[in-house]
Amino acid sequence: MDIAYSYLEGIDLTATFTFLILFLATVLWMTCPKSDIPGPRAWPIFGNILLVSQFNSTPKKAKFVEEMTRQYGPMFRMFLGPYQIVFVQGHKHVLDVLQKRGREFIDRPNFIPGVKLAEKVKGGSGIVSANGDDWKVMRRFSLQAMRDFGVGKSSLEENILEEIQNVIDDLEKMKGSEITNLKEMMIKASCNIIHSLIFGYRYKHDNESLKKLIKTMDNIFSGPGSLSASGLFPVLNLIMKDNLKVRIEGFSTLKKYIEKHITEHRESFDPENIRDFIDMYLVAEKEESERTSVLNPAALLTSIIDLFAAGTDTTATTLDWSFLWMIQYPDVIGPGRMVRLSDRRHLSYTEATLMEIQRLSNTVIFTLPHVAVCDTTINGFKIPKNTIIIPSLISVHFDETIWRDPKEFNPGRFLNQSNDIINKEYLIPFSLGPRICPGESLARSELFLIFSNLLHRFEFSKVDPDDILSFEGITGITTTPSPYRLKADLR
């Protein structure tokens, strides 16, 4: 005992304490995430979890990125735990990542907890999160189905026009009165259009099943995205209110709804009478069964979830923005007959107006996350394999090297002196490259037909000339307008 005491007495406690501090600092430094790319200091284990959570939860994501850009430059990074997330801005680098070198950044980050959780809830990878050969097979089928059964077919155009007539009927009942639920009308129309394409029938606008379906879609889009910090650390649901619960419940409800319809289709399937997307899938599933297992029941379910979720809210939100802009700038179009897709080439100013609305509104500010599939570079910075890349669409749409006065509303920027459409390559609301939205053609048809027909039929205006309109959106997974009111009078 005396020997031990004597030994301890001889130790320099100050030196020991200093050694422990240096040892701890060394361990922390060695485990701290490192990158050549500018960005906020990242902590061991957690990375920049507070900032990532703030990015996911703030309704002002564009302003958040603007502030980060002021501090770190147009290309910066954050860490979600061990995962590096790089934000890429400006048309040169965004188009490089998405299109010119799109194959280097083609994958989705299905290795991070937020994506894994979504796949677990949905029952597997769909078109959105699948990678490799699985993604190629599902995308090829979806595009073929759109061509064979959807876009360009008179039956689809008639379905869209019937939905437009339903909206017209609703607006005529409210002509001259205050309207505050235009988004609800738009989402009923867009939901019904994708519903008829996938399931073969539409609902009446007052149907309770349609209302429940729309509520489900709202829940899916109201939750945080795949980069949610709570996906990595679930306890943050309690601490930061970064809550995935609402979104998970939305996916679960939609999954049950789709499963019911798939079962009914399998029971009534007739290969001589292909009714919709599901029937086409059942045919392909049987034909491909000997060559691949990709087109299976789980993939059908998840692909429909992805198509349904992507094809409803974004279109309705873009239309909601469209009529907000029109009550601010009403002199776009006059009365006329029902507009069809064949009229598109003769309505270049209407087309340019819709393009300008998409450029300014930025319903989708950033693309879904991409992943570097190999070690590469962007703008001279090293990008290790599996780095998560977030290209900024809004940075392209507001890039001053492309657009003169980019914050000003000017449809003429998309027209030349011959009234032909120009500058299309810099308008990318559906992203670009291999991962471009598979429903782009359908969405463009819907937007043009609904927007132009309603403008031909109604004059939209402020309820009170003194109403102050806000064009600063509220960003969740999509960016929606702040609440506004308008009135619609027959032309």
Q: pLDDT tier at 69 (50, 70, 90 boundaries)?
A: very high
| Residue 10 pLDDT greater than 90, yes or no | no
User: pLDDT per residue over 442-452, tens digit each?
Assistant: 899 999 999 99
Average pLDDT (381-386) is 95
pLDDT at 305: 85
Same domain, 195 and 110: yes
Q: Which residue has the tokens 């239309």?
A: 319
Same domain, 79 and 202: yes
Average pLDDT, the chain: 85
pLDDT higher at 157 or 342: 157
Highest mean pLDDT among 281-295, 299-313, 403-417: 403-417
Average pLDDT (137-159) is 79
| Residue 68 pLDDT greater than 80, yes or no | yes
pLDDT at 245: 72
pLDDT at 330: 83
Same domain, 11 and 45: no
Q: pLDDT tier at 33 (50, 70, 90 boundaries)?
A: low
DSSP letter string over 161-209? Answer: HHHHHHHHHHHHHTTTS-B--HHHHHHHHHHHHHHHHHHS----TT-HH
Same domain, 147 and 269: yes
Same domain, 19 and 140: no
Average pLDDT (242-253) is 74
| Residue 228 pLDDT greater than 70, yes or no | no
pLDDT at 113: 73
| Of residues 312, 278, 292, the one with CA closest to residue 145 | 278
pLDDT at 233: 61
Same domain, 4 and 93: no
3-state secondary structure of 488: strand
Boundaries of domain holding 117: 32-490
Highest mean pLDDT among 150-164, 268-282, 335-349: 268-282
Same domain, 312 and 358: yes
DSSP letter string over 111-175? Answer: TSHHHHHHHHHHTS--TTT--HHHHHHHHHHHHHHIIIIITT-HHHHHHHHHHHHHHHHHHHHTT
Same domain, 11 and 142: no
Same domain, 464 and 484: yes
* CATH code (residue 462): 1.10.630.10
Q: pLDDT tier at 242 (50, 70, 90 boundaries)?
A: very low
pLDDT at 25: 46
Average pLDDT (104-116) is 85
The rounded percent of the chain whose pLDDT value lies above 90 is 52
Same domain, 9 and 114: no
Same domain, 85 and 1: no
Average pLDDT (374-397) is 96
DSSP for residue 468: P
DSSP letter string over 33-73? Answer: ---SS-----BTTTBTHHHHHHHHH-S-HHHHHHHHHHHH-
Q: Which residues are annotated as a binding site for heme?
A: 437
Q: Cα(first)–Cα(last) distance of the chain, in Å?
A: 102
Same domain, 65 and 161: yes
Q: Which residues are annotated as a binding site?
A: 437
pLDDT at 384: 95
What is the number of domains present in the chain? 2
Average pLDDT (238-262) is 77
